[in-house]
Amino acid sequence: TGVATMKFKSPPVNSLSLDFLTEFSISLEKLENDRACRGVIFTSAVPKIFSSGLDITEMCGKSTEHYAEFWRAVQEMWLRLYGSNMVTVAAVNGSSPAGGCLIALSCDYRIMVENPKFSIGLNEAQLGIVAPFWFKDTFVNIVGHRVAERSLQLGSLHPAPEAHKFGLVDELVPEEKLQEKAAAVMAQWLALPDHARQLTKSMMRKAVLDRLVAHREEDIQNFISFISKESIQKSLRMYMEMLKKKKS
Amino acid sequence: TGVATMKFKSPPVNSLSLDFLTEFSISLEKLENDRACRGVIFTSAVPKIFSSGLDITEMCGKSTEHYAEFWRAVQEMWLRLYGSNMVTVAAVNGSSPAGGCLIALSCDYRIMVENPKFSIGLNEAQLGIVAPFWFKDTFVNIVGHRVAERSLQLGSLHPAPEAHKFGLVDELVPEEKLQEKAAAVMAQWLALPDHARQLTKSMMRKAVLDRLVAHREEDIQNFISFISKESIQKSLRMYMEMLKKKKS
Amino acid sequence: TGVATMKFKSPPVNSLSLDFLTEFSISLEKLENDRACRGVIFTSAVPKIFSSGLDITEMCGKSTEHYAEFWRAVQEMWLRLYGSNMVTVAAVNGSSPAGGCLIALSCDYRIMVENPKFSIGLNEAQLGIVAPFWFKDTFVNIVGHRVAERSLQLGSLHPAPEAHKFGLVDELVPEEKLQEKAAAVMAQWLALPDHARQLTKSMMRKAVLDRLVAHREEDIQNFISFISKESIQKSLRMYMEMLKKKKS
């Protein structure tokens, strides 16, 4: 059918580790170069979670070189996904904070399970960190400036119905209908001639993609100097402690 | 009353031929220079259609010189309409795809007949072609980035009620009330002092107008090289065949 | 609690005179430099009016030097408020035209009394004047391009329920609940770590702030040459006469 499904399977929470990101980018590149593949559906094989976002262990107590390598992999993932020529549909079957939300935001269409226990948002501010400008640009393109400003400042995680209300997700469906719906949406998008659709997508996204390409090294340096601060390291360690306690 | 009505009467579907565009621009320029005229209502004298958009016969099997002349006329029409100092109201009394939609988008206010059989949208992608960047800019100004991106990629034609829901048209009325409503809206806008209103309008639209002015020749060259491709010519010919069959 | 309240008390209508603006900026600067203060609530001590906007007497029949001083004070107020590191909440307990609306727009969150007799908007065009580009930029960031364009051209004053419908205010409450609600919202925002929230806010607002900073002197000269026109002076005098008659 020309449609691939990329199913995240990195328990317990599909966090975006360096390995995960590298595999993601390589897989996407392969599909991009495969002329038989015209669309990709992203979903999770882990119950209740789409992706928990960037792996905090990659940002804690590591070397400058590691931070640089990690951040470059995050950029690479987004540049490939937001700039993909394929039709990309996020089938969000669980919570999707921070980097998980970014993956959904970067697709062409977002379908989420209507369960209000599942939430989505760029909640970086809750952890004492700041979403990078290209997360912000992607978010503003989807929900507009006012909603993005408030949501980013508050680090909000929006329950699925609320996220739907202001357009952060395009559609809600019962969990058992999700894959069927994703396939139907994909078929609708693939009915269009590829070439015109790809040029249109690129016209819409080029400005935001170009901004990161033009400032990529600077963005890596910013990340390193921010994440290396003792105050930030401390709040990330506290956050990890909290997560561990929650689990046990 | 200081209000002109420009009634499109180019059967069967008010397509924007080189002649139509030239007459449109000349008429608009005359009204612009007529100090007695402060506002224009655009509507159709052809039943069920506002305007079907750019005339495909002008883009098929013609010379490079013809394509250049045609495209310059399309640009001219939009530069005059989007940049008009007059109050412009679209009274959309029929379907309005592609270039027809652009005319409506470029007005200050859009009223559409509430008939769900009438649809409106930038459906270029359906034909295998790409809406130019200034169509896109005008569209994004009206419906925002997310809706514009999806609608342009899918080449969607939105039934009037759907178009109203996301702001592509400002108001729906029964067909028999359309002209009355357009006149009432016009009166409301003309109650404002012209000078302040004109400066405000220009402030809002200048960035998007300037972008085309700065890239006008480049945009013509882009159009020529795109439209001259054999693959594009072929899909336009197929589209015209389909339209002919539909008619008979 | 780390929260200050700035209560406008300049009867009869809290108009933004040179004195008011100067005091506003000085107070805000003091709070900004006070590490104990993390948030400010703006509200009015004058019944039925939040602020009537720029004081027209400062723009009528005065010297060029006065106009320059006045306009610089308007800019200063906005630069400090829109660029504030503190959490800013507008508790709008009365009508709020023009410059009054700008104060509300520049806060992080807007709560308005649900009374439909109270209205809010940038109504400059009604007076025959034009909202400056940075009023416009702030407005577009809140309500988007389409709504801003129409509202600015018509100089609309929106009753509270209408303003809420398109996001010009974030929330409506009964008058007796306003201060309580403002305090609750403030507490929610102050639950976030300051540093990440401030960097996020600055990332969202920097482009618009920088535009005025880069064109500040030019903007002052524009104001002076516009306001000095005899036609503008005349329409401001007429407007003041109308206000006087209304009062008596």
State the average pLDDT over residues C201-229: 97
Q: What pLDDT sits at residue A235? A: 86
- How many residues make up chain B in this entry? 248
Where does the pLDDT of residue C247 fall: very low under 50, low under 70, confident under 90, or very high at 90 and above?
confident
Q: Determine how many CB atoms are found less than 10 A away from the CB of residue A164.
A: 19
Round to whole Å and give the CA distance between B181 and B183: 5
Contact B195, C128 (CB under 8 A): yes
Cα B170 → chain centroid: 15
Q: What pLDDT sits at residue B243? A: 82
pLDDT digits (tens, 9 = 90+) for A25-78: 999 999 999 999 999 999 999 999 999 999 999 999 999 999 999 999 999 999
Active site annotation includes C167:
no
Contact B77, B31 (CB under 8 A): no
Chain C interface disruption, residue of A154, A227, A239, most C CBs within 10 A: A154
| Residue that has been written with the tokens 């989505």 in this structure | A120
pLDDT digits (tens, 9 = 90+) for B21-55: 999 999 999 999 999 999 999 999 999 999 999 99
CA distances from C169 to A111, B143, B246, C104, C204 (A): 29, 20, 50, 8, 18
Which stretches of chain B sit within 8 Å of chain A by CB?
A: 124-131, 133, 136, 144-146, 148-150, 152-155, 231, 235
pTM (2 d.p.):
0.97
pLDDT at residue C235 is higher than 90? no
Question: In the β-sheet with C94-97, what is the strand arrangement from edge to edge?
Answer: C48-49, C94-97, C119-121, C158-159
Chain A interface disruption, residue of C203, C205, C206, C208, most A CBs within 10 A: C203
Active site annotation includes C33:
no
Residue B125 and residue A192: Cβ atoms within 8 Å? yes
Phi, psi of B221 (to 5 degrees): -60, -40
Q: Determine how many CB atoms are found less than 10 A away from the CB of residue C248.
A: 4
3-state secondary structure of A201: helix
Residue A200 and residue B127: Cβ atoms within 8 Å? no
Residue A188 and residue B154: Cβ atoms within 8 Å? yes
Round to whole Å and give the CA distance between A25 and C34: 47
Kindly list the catalytic residues of A.
54, 99, 123-124
Round to whole Å and give the CA distance between C185 and C109: 8
CA distances from A177 to A3, A96, A107, A117, B203 (A): 18, 19, 19, 17, 48
Phi, psi of A48 (to 5 degrees): 70, -5
Round to whole Å and give the CA distance between B158 and B126: 13
Q: Determine how many CB atoms are found less than 10 A away from the CB of residue A247.
A: 8
What residues of C are in contact with residue A231 (Cβ under 8 Å)? 195
Round to whole Å and give the CA distance between B30 and B53: 23
For residues B197-228, b (16+ Cβ closer than 10 Å) or e, as one string?
A: bbbbbebbbeebbeebeeebeebbeebbebbe
ipTM of the complex: 0.96
- Domains of chain B: which residue ranges? 3-191
Q: Determine how many CB atoms are found less than 10 A away from the CB of residue A131.
A: 25
CA of B197 vs chain C CAs: smallest distance (Å): 5
Round to whole Å and give the CA distance between A9 and A3: 19
| Residue that has been written with the tokens 């700008």 in this structure | C102
pLDDT at residue A185 is higher than 80? yes
Contacts of A156 (CB under 8 A, 6+ apart): A121, A123, A150
Active site annotation includes C85:
no
Contact B181, B173 (CB under 8 A): yes
Percent of chain C past pLDDT 90, that is, above it, reads 94
Active site annotation includes B114:
no
Topology of the domain covering C3-191: 2-enoyl-CoA Hydratase; Chain A, domain 1 (3.90.226)
Contacts of A15 (CB under 8 A, 6+ apart): A51, A52, A53, A54, A55, A56
| Residue that has been written with the tokens 């008596």 in this structure | C248
CB-based burial of residue A35 (10 Å sphere; 0-12 exposed, 13-18 middle, 19+ buried)? exposed
pLDDT at residue C233 is higher than 80? yes
pLDDT digits (tens, 9 = 90+) for B169-219: 999 999 999 999 999 999 999 999 999 999 999 999 999 999 999 999 999
pLDDT at residue B247 is higher than 80? no
The two beta strands, C171-173 and C109-113, are parallel
CA of A225 vs chain B CAs: smallest distance (Å): 33
pLDDT digits (tens, 9 = 90+) for B82-98: 999 999 999 999 999 99
What residues of B are in contact with residue C130 (Cβ under 8 Å)? 196, 199-200, 203
Q: Give kind and range of the element (H or E) at residue A91.
A: strand A87-92
The overall average pLDDT reported for chain C is 96
Residue A195 and residue B155: Cβ atoms within 8 Å? no
Q: Give kind and range of the element (H or E) at residue B7.
A: strand B3-8
CB-based burial of residue C217 (10 Å sphere; 0-12 exposed, 13-18 middle, 19+ buried)? exposed
Q: What pLDDT sits at residue C244? A: 85
Percent of chain A past pLDDT 90, that is, above it, reads 94
Contact A147, A177 (CB under 8 A): no
Residue A199 and residue B152: Cβ atoms within 8 Å? no
Which stretches of chain A sit within 8 Å of chain C by CB?
A: 124-131, 133, 136, 144-146, 148-150, 152-155, 231, 235
Cα C109 → chain centroid: 13
Chain A interface disruption, residue of B137, B150, B153, B219, most A CBs within 10 A: B153
Amino acid at B24: F
Q: What pLDDT sits at residue B239? A: 85
Residue A149 and residue C109: Cβ atoms within 8 Å? no
pLDDT at residue C240 is higher than 90? no
Which stretches of chain B sit within 8 Å of chain C by CB?
A: 108-109, 140-144, 167, 170, 188-189, 192-193, 195-197, 199-201, 203-205
Contact A196, B153 (CB under 8 A): no
What residues of C are in contact with residue B200 (Cβ under 8 Å)? 124-125, 130-131, 152-153
CA distances from C93 to B87, C29, C100, C177, C178 (A): 35, 24, 11, 11, 8
Contact A84, A103 (CB under 8 A): no
